[in-house]
Structure 1
Amino acid sequence: LEGTENRIAVARRDFIAAVERYNTEIRTFPGRIWHMLMYSDMPIRENFEATAENAEQAPQVQFR
């Protein structure tokens, strides 16, 4: 279970980084021109952040 949670955390981190790169690219030169010419139907993506306390850490599981 902990391995699955870690993979989810890594995927979430990678997704957020990709969204940040995409948003930066379409807001700066020359990416802004390419976006207007070729990808005008693709919207700017929202960037999400964890809202729960300690959401980036996997919970500790204790076995008895």
Structure 2
Amino acid sequence: CDDPVAKFYANKKQEYTGKLKVAFITEDVEYYGFAVRKSDTDLVKKLNEGIKAVKEKGIDKQVVEKWIGK
């Protein structure tokens, strides 16, 4: 399964505590995206600005640690 899903089950799901361990994490980069109409340039701009702000403030790392673990 994807790295984030594996980490979530191994680190955060109580029924699997102490039962699962992530054996390895690939170096492959996973990409995610949004489906947006080509004509909706304002929305694309807002999404890009939001993503940039989240990364600059470190919120993305906080969310990952909260929901997936280290």
Same fold, TM exceeding 0.5? no
TM-score by length of 1: 0.33
TM-score scaled to structure 2, two decimals? 0.30
